[in-house]
Amino acid sequence: MKIILINGSAHPKGCTYTALRLVADEIERCGIETEIIHIGQKDVRGCIGCYKCRELGHCVFNDVVNEVAPKFEQADGIVIGSPVYYASANGTMLSFLDRLFYSTPFDKRMKVGAAVVSARRAGTTATLDILNKYFSIAQMPIATSRYWNMVHGNTPEQVMQDAEGVQIMRILGRNMAFLVHAIADRKEIYGLPDKEPEIEYTNFIR
């Protein structure tokens, strides 16, 4: 079993990484392998809606998105970590997620997802709302903690002083590991839930 954690911060060992490391440590204590992948310093352009991924099976732009896609396919879960810029997730992370989720044809159902955000002060709940939508549209159960998955601080040292945030990250790691184990046990016996044959699209323009 493996869970990948995506660090969207441009600072590989900054506040977002500190939060992800706390989550990863708890996941590993529960017997699941983890890998933290840093994308915040990569040159990631946004989706252009060319639909070439439907022909190729991967994004037409061959960058970190295509590098992470096979790891996402093999993983049992994914944690998305983003700093808060202007009351939202940073642009690199959003471009990365748009293309990662849209261009990959593999079934994401029942992979466990979680979002983690870090901020000096505010914008965290809005950022969590944006990031969690990627999981919900892919039929991925969302792991939660005892409060919103956020830490506060300007430096990693300040994040570690956020006692509540640190506890939230620990609980999140344990809860995510439990979900992954539980889904794997159920899947081994019964398989995945029945899949609808095709998506029903409603066109509101008449």
Contact 58, 104 (CB under 8 A): yes
**What is the rounded CA–CA span in Å between residue 95 and residue 18?**
23
Cα pseudo-dihedral 12, 131, 184, 200, rounded to 10 = -140
CA atoms within 13 Å, Cβ hemisphere of 194: 2
- Ordered by start, the domain boundaries in the chain are 2-190
Quick check: helix, strand or coil at residue 25? helix
Handedness of CA 83, 85, 88, 94 (dihedral sign): negative
pLDDT digits (tens, 9 = 90+) for 86-118: 999 999 999 999 999 999 999 999 999 999 999
Q: Quick one: pLDDT at residue 55? A: 96
Q: Which amino acid is at 158?
A: Q
pLDDT-derived band at 196, boundaries 50, 70, 90: confident
Please state which of the ranges 70-74, 135-139, 183-187, 192-196 shows the lowest mean pLDDT: 192-196
Dihedral class, residue 41 (left if φ above 0, else alpha if ψ from -120 to 50, else beta)? alpha
Contact 114, 148 (CB under 8 A): no
Question: Within a 10 A sphere around the Cβ of 48, how many other Cβ atoms?
Answer: 11
Q: Any idea what DSSP says for residue 30?
A: T
Q: Quick one: pLDDT at residue 94? A: 97
CATH architecture of 2-190: 3-Layer(aba) Sandwich (3.40)
CA 28 to chain centre: 17
Assess whether pLDDT exceeds 80 at residue 182.
Answer: yes
